[in-house]
Amino acid sequence: MKALVYNNEFKNKIEYTERKDPVIEQNSDAIVKVTLSSICTSDLHIINGFVPRANNDIVLGHEFVGEVVEIGSNVKKLKIGDRVAANCITFCGDCYFCKKGFINNCQKGGWELGCRIDGCQAEYVRVPYADMGLSKLPENVTYENALFVGDILSSGYFAAQMCEINNNDSVAVIGAGPVGLCSMMSARHMGASNIIAIDINDYRLKIAKENNFADFIINPNRENVETSIKEITNNIGADSVIEAAGDKSTFEMAWKIARPNANVGIVAMYEENQVLPLPLMYGKNLTFKTGGVDAIYCDKLLNLISESKISTDILISKKFKLSDIEDAYKFFKYKPDDCFKIAIY
């Protein structure tokens, strides 16, 4: 088959090349024919050498949907021909952490696909613990509708869950990129009424507002964010803050714009340490939660998509064929302001 392989020794680190078809290795495996995949910023982190757990010479990619073409003898939930969405996390379902729902720390899994084992930017992919990691698409959900369920939509939902949102809460979301927008959709679904999108990219803010993901938008290049949040929230501060941007300035913003006793959910990935000025914050009584996504919501999210309660379709900004995936990477690396995600067909 054809696949996009990451290897240190390649001139450009990645190459669209010939790879052996995957086969069933464990009886809980399934082989999926990939119909659509996406490129994630974490794929670029691997290529740039920022992911210590990544193996060399692997097929990249962990965000995909497809059709089951082969199953191991112990796969119970799935059959050949099923249309499925894949979880970005591989998890056994049976260890200490999985039983508590903390699948990101599965003792036998974690971020495996496209990191430690061959991923989905290929014609076929082997999925371990297939009954856990694959969710069947409801009849009325297309592959496009479901593409982001197992990674960025799960991450956004996870962020909103960390904030324990109540009806009519104000929720400030820092970063209106793909995960930020998914957080807003999820917060809305959980009952938030004043959602505030904060970003320096006006196109992203426009999309957030036009699609009713956000009620208010703030561009920190033009406005003082703390002042604007105070105005929107009657001088209280945000009931919850989701930090989905990942910069020193946005980390500071997160605790500053939170009201006392707020939850602050951090889903951003930072490239350096961040500092909490505890003496200054004393008495504000904040709860900070950080997260690599425990993506246990795939079935639930697919149902919400099926019921038209959530839609991530707008995030597909550009489409490429698998054979053009090297161009897709170049595009994604320097993507223009108006690109959220790309889909590889």
* 95 is a contact residue toward Zn ion (CB under 5 A): yes
Question: Of the ranges 99-107, 121-129, 162-170, 232-240, which one interacts with Zn ion (CB under 5 A)?
Answer: 99-107
Given 31, 36, 40, 218, the residue binding Zn ion (CB under 5 A): 40
Q: Which is nearer to Zn ion, 60 or 184 (CB)?
A: 60
Q: How far is the CB of 112 from Zn ion (least distance, A)?
A: 11
In 3D space, the residue among 91, 41, 40 whose CA is nearest the CA of residue 64 turns out to be 40
SS3 content of the chain, % helix, strand, coil (to 5): 30, 25, 45
C-alpha–C-alpha distance, residues 113 and 116, integer Å: 6
* 51 is a contact residue toward Zn ion (CB under 5 A): no
Let me know: does 319 contact 345? Beta carbons within 8 Å: yes
Q: Which is nearer to Zn ion, 152 or 302 (CB)?
A: 152
Enumerate residues 6+ apart whose C-beta is below 8 A from 273: none
Cβ count near 239 (within 10 Å):
22
* 106 is a contact residue toward Zn ion (CB under 5 A): yes
Token pair 């900004």 in the structure block, residue: 317
Q: Which is nearer to Zn ion, 263 or 312 (CB)?
A: 312
Question: Of the ranges 38-46, 139-147, 274-282, 299-307, which one interacts with Zn ion (CB under 5 A)?
Answer: 38-46
Question: Of the ranges 98-106, 125-133, 224-232, 302-310, which one interacts with Zn ion (CB under 5 A)?
Answer: 98-106
* 42 is a contact residue toward Zn ion (CB under 5 A): yes
β-strands 258-266, 238-243 pairing: parallel
* 54 is a contact residue toward Zn ion (CB under 5 A): no
* 151 is a contact residue toward Zn ion (CB under 5 A): yes
Q: How far is the CB of 14 from Zn ion (least distance, A)?
A: 16
C-alpha gyration radius of the chain: 20
C-alpha–C-alpha distance, residues 87 and 119, integer Å: 12
In 3D space, the residue among 214, 206, 201 whose CA is nearest the CA of residue 170 turns out to be 214
Question: Of the ranges 53-61, 90-98, 237-245, 257-265, which one interacts with Zn ion (CB under 5 A)?
Answer: 90-98
The DSSP symbol for 302 reads: H
Q: Which is nearer to Zn ion, 1 or 95 (CB)?
A: 95
Residues that bind Zn ion (CB under 5 A): 40, 42, 91-92, 95, 98, 106, 151
